[in-house]
Structure 1
Amino acid sequence: MDGSDFLSRSAAFMGASGVSLGAFGAHSLRSKLEAKAGGLDNWKTAVNYQLIHAVALLALSALSRTTTQSAVKAACQKAGKMMVLGTSFFSGSIYMLVLDKGPKKILGPLTPVGGLFMIAGWVYLGLM
């Protein structure tokens, strides 16, 4: 599997799971999320960032597949990997925190670390 395959598969997984988690939160978990202060808003934020980055990964995959410039291809793949890691940490930790799953001492700090990785991916992309 080359880098563009990783990006397109990651985009597909993040898109499908983002839509699924959004629907699950809006319907099956709504009362639980509303019972927790900020729970529904936090869930929506996690879903929103996940879906935005799924689209970004799809664009990076397309650019990586079509460019003939190896430096651009490498930059797309590196930026995409940062976004995958960042979105996994950011959105994943929010989902877990809102559901009261896992150790808060670990999950709490993962959210801003994930945000930093997402930002780093965008900055790296802007510098290519």
Structure 2
Amino acid sequence: MSRTFAILGASFAFLGVALGAFGAHALAAHFAANPELEPTFETAARYQMYHALALFIVAWLAERCDSRLIRWSGWLFTLGIVLFSGSLYILSIFNVRIMGAVAPLGGVCFLLGWACIAWMLWREKSDA
């Protein structure tokens, strides 16, 4: 399972860098015409990268302790990236305003993922 989360982390980090470059270059004219959308795109890329790195933390923790909470956190971070960053990318590129309503669901997934890690570490007796 730790390998799965490391692969997901690397894949989302790769996509975060690629989408960040895409936003900075290919979407420059789009954001010049719609400047209010650029910060939304940047937020999507930033949170995607934070949680791609969090997936590496999950992979590392999963190697050291067998906990359902760690696995849950990895899947919650993955779902959070898809829902939060994905909806913000769609909103900022295609100006689909309804996608703004999806982002908080992804944010809740991020929060629950971090809560799972905190709870596991608090309960764990080992040197996790």
Which TM-score bucket, shorter chain as reference? 0.7 to 0.9
Selected match of 2:86 from 71, 89, 92 = 92
TM-score calculated relative to the size of structure 2: 0.86
Selected match of 1:124 from 106, 113, 116 = 116
AA paired with 2:70?
C
Q: Percent identity?
A: 32
Q: Counterpart in 2 of 1:35?
A: 33
Q: Counterpart in 2 of 1:52?
A: 50
**How do 1:9-20 and structure 2 match up within 5 A?**
9-20=7-18
TM-score calculated relative to the size of structure 1: 0.86
Question: 2:19 & 2:86 partners in 1: Cα distance?
Answer: 11
Shift of 1:104: 4.2
Q: Counterpart in 2 of 1:77?
A: 71
Deviations 1:29-75 (A, max 9, x none): 1120232142111111100000010111011102212x1x323xx22
**Could you list the runs of 4 or more consecutive aligned residues of structure 1 that deviate by over 3 angstroms after TM superposition?**
none
Aligned length: 120
Which 5+ residue runs of structure 2 have no aligned equivalent? 121-128
Question: 1:31 & 1:75 partners in 2: Cα distance?
Answer: 44
Selected match of 1:111 from 99, 103, 113 = 103
